[in-house]
């Protein structure tokens, strides 16, 4: 079966890491009798250079028609002075809107071979394997706001947090589905002791919990969650939360794992899903062929599992990454003495050999 995937390299190390992931996917999907038809389209800085805007209509149209989108990263110093309305990051926001991507999934797991990279004690990170499900198109980031106005001590600015029932229901549903395929536990995170929007969030989560007895629910305040993530991260399976809280907690989760270059993400919703590593375009190492491709390769594994119906490929890619790390292959960002130092190409070959 042929499946069309849009590949958006983007900027900086984007091309290097997306090409690496494509090679791995092409080899792995054979296990599911799938052939990928890759369609390259531009977004971010590369699209500003080519078309004068970060998200051309041709890219949007191609993404809408495809089975999935694999993206490297966008942005870089070259475009720091362009007008705010056409900044490279607008491409990501635009894609989220055009594709209806209201949910961001960020798995955080710690590969055994990399446990020492976590800033937490080894005994704390052994069992770390959770997913943060972040609401992506609502809440305070999309609410009304008012820039600073007034004078002196009375100068003020405000931002408004709104959640509709339907927005909460659909994100909790995704958390439940995700938990069913994992350890069966959902932790719903809010600030219901203070915020009205959080009280609606908790009410809806509790209703969903009652209706889905196959999954256990836990309710935590966001401040406590921030603490629990470093004190006992092994307790979590699926964490579901608002746009703002999820932004902060997912960065904390990334730090717990200790290796930014390795973490994948998926944005899903009503249209085509988008897969990308959590790191940026790393302009400082772009063009050198030394970027760590594993975050993109693991994002591609999620793509195989959730969008392409290629679960054998997904399992094979994840196992191959684990095997390559266990065998000691390390790109510069995760290198330690005594390990096998490789560049992007070398790491890709290492993963390919275990597929
Ligand atoms: P960054 O994640 O690009 O880089 C932070 C540090 O981590 C750098 O030292 C970089 O070399 C290193 N790093 C990141 N990914 C790596 C990899 N795969 N292998 C080895 N080392 C890696 O974050 P930064 O520097 O804050 O942002 C750079 C640009 O990326 C900015 O223009 C920013 O707006 C953009 N960005 C784009 C994102 C996206 O496309 N979704 C997300 C985050 C940032
Ligand atoms: Mg963030």
User: Could you read off the pLDDT of 217-252 as tens digits, one per residue?
Assistant: 999 999 999 999 999 999 999 999 999 999 999 999
pLDDT at res. 163: 98
287 marked ligand binding residue: yes
Nearest CA to ligand 1 atom 10: 282
State the catalytic residue, choosing from 11, 190, 237, 247: 247
What pLDDT was estimated at residue 261?
Answer: 85
pLDDT digits (tens, 9 = 90+) for 61-117: 999 999 999 999 999 999 999 988 899 999 998 999 999 999 999 999 988 888 888
The structure tokens listed for 56 are: 């051309």
Q: Where are the alpha helices (H) located in the chain, listed in sequence order?
A: 14-28, 45-51, 57-65, 90-98, 122-125, 165-180, 196-211, 222-231, 243-257, 294-306, 311-326, 344-353
Cα(327) to centroid(ligand 2), Å? 32
* ipTM > 0.90 (yes/no): yes
Q: What are the pLDDT digits (tens) for 309-322?
A: 999 999 999 999 99
Burial of 83 (0-12, 13-18, 19+ CB in 10 A): exposed
223 tagged catalytic: yes
Task: Tell the residue nearest (CA) to atom 11 of ligand 1.
Answer: 282
Which one of 94, 264, 282, 290 would you pick to mutate in the ligand 1 pocket, going by the greatest count of ligand atoms within 8 A of its CB?
282
pLDDT tens digits for 243-281?
999 999 999 999 888 878 899 999 999 999 999 999 999
Alpha-carbon distance 354 to 4, whole Å?
A: 25
- The answer, yes or no, to whether residue 202 has pLDDT greater than 90, is yes
Ligand 1 environment, Cβ below 6 A: 13, 73-76, 89, 92, 260-261, 276, 279-285, 291-292, 295, 333
Q: Average pLDDT, stretch 119-138?
A: 93
Helix (H, G, I), strand (E, B) or coil at 344: helix
Residue 186 contacts residue 176 (beta carbons within 8 Å) = yes
Mean pLDDT over the full length of the chain = 96
pLDDT in tens, 38-72: 999 999 999 999 999 999 999 999 999 999 999 99
Scan for tokens 């599911």, then name that residue: 32
Query: What separation in Å is there between the alpha carbon of 101 and the centre of ligand 2?
Result: 16
Residue 17 CA: nearest ligand 1 atom is: 18
Q: Which residues contact 152 (CB under 8 A, 6 or more apart)?
A: none
Q: What is the pLDDT of residues 13-23, one digit of tens each?
A: 999 999 999 99
Atom of ligand 1 nearest to the CA of 291: 19
For residue 40, count other CB atoms closer than 10 A to its CB: 13
Which ligand sits nearest to residue 247's alpha carbon?
2
> Of all residues in the chain, what percent are helix, strand and coil, respectively (each to 5)?
50, 20, 30
C-alpha 325/C-alpha 114 separation (Å) is 8
173 carries an active-site annotation: no
At residue 308, the 3 state secondary structure works out as coil
Which is catalytic among the residues 251, 312, 333, 354? 251
Is residue 337 among the annotated active site residues?
Answer: no
Is 247 labeled as catalytic in the residue annotation? yes
Number of other CB atoms surrounding residue 88 within 10 Å: 25
**pLDDT digits over 136-164, tens only?**
999 999 999 999 999 999 999 999 999 99
pLDDT number for residue 44: 97
Most distant CA pair in the chain: distance in Å?
67
* pLDDT of res. 200: 98
Q: Supply the pLDDT for residue 129.
A: 94
* 27 alpha carbon – ligand 2 mean position (Å): 32
Task: For the chain, list the domains and their CATH numbers.
Answer: 1-106+263-355 (3.40.718.10), 119-257 (3.40.718.10)
Q: Is-catalytic flag, 166?
A: no
Q: What pLDDT sits at residue 350?
A: 98
**Of 191, 208, 306, 329, which residue is the catalytic one?**
191
Q: Is the dihedral of CA 239, 245, 246, 252 positive or negative?
A: negative
Phi, psi of 135 (to 5 degrees): -65, 135
Residue nearest to atom 37 of ligand 1 (CA): 280
**Chain position carrying tokens 């947090």:** 161
**Of 129, 134, 132, 344, whose CA–CA distance to 257 is shortest?**
129
DSSP string covering 14-79: HHHHHHHHHHHHHHHGGGGT-EEEEEE---THHHHHHHSSSS-HHHHHHHHHSSEEEEEE---GGG
Quote the pLDDT of residue 126: 86
Q: State the distance from the centre of ligand 2 to the C-alpha of 247, rounded, in angstroms.
A: 5
Q: Phi first, then psi: what are they for 226, rounded to 5°?
A: -55, -40
How much is the pTM?
A: 0.94
Provide the pLDDT confidence category of residue 214 given band limits of 50, 70 and 90: very high
């Amino acid at each position: 079966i042929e499946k069309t995937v849009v590949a958006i390299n983007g900027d900086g190390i984007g091309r290097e890491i997306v090409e690496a992931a494509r090679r791995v996917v092409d080899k792995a999907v054979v296990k599911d009798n799938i052939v990928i038809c890759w369609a390259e389209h531009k977004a971010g800085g590369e699209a500003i250079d080519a078309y004068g805007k970060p998200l051309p209509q041709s890219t949007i149209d191609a993404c809408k028609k495809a089975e999935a989108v694999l993206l490297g990263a966008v942005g870089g110093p070259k475009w720091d002075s362009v007008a705010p309305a056409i900044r490279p990051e607008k491409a990501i926001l635009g894609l989220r809107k055009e594709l209806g991507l209201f949910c961001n999934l960020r798995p955080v797991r710690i590969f055994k071979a990399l446990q020492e990279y976590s800033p937490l004690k080894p005994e704390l990170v052994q069992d770390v394997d959770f997913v943060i499900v972040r609401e992506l198109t609502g809440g305070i980031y999309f609410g009304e706001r008012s820039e600073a106005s007034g004078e002196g001590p009375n100068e003020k600015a405000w931002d408004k947090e709104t959640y509709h029932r339907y927005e909460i229901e659909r994100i909790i549903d995704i958390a439940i589905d995700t938990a069913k395929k994992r350890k069966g536990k959902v932790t719903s995170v809010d600030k219901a002791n203070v915020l009205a929007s959080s009280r609606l969030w908790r009410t809806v989560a509790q209703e969903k919990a009652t209706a889905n007895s196959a999954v256990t629910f836990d309710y935590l305040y966001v401040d406590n969650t921030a603490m629990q993530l470093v004190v006992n991260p092994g307790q979590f399976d699926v964490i579901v939360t608002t746009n703002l809280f999820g932004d902060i907690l997912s960065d904390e989760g990334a730090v717990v794992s200790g290796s930014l270059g390795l973490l994948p993400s998926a944005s899903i919703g009503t249209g085509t899903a988008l897969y990308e590593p959590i790191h940026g375009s790393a302009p400082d190492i772009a063009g050198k062929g030394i970027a760590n491709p594993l975050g993109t390769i693991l994002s591609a594994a999620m793509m195989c599992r959730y969008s392409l119906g290629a679960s054998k490929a997904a399992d094979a890619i994840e196992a191959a990454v684990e095997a390559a790390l266990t065998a000691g292959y390390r790109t510069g960002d995760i290198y330690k003495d005594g390990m096998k130092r490789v560049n992007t190409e070398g790491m890709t070959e290492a993963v390919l050999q275990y597929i």
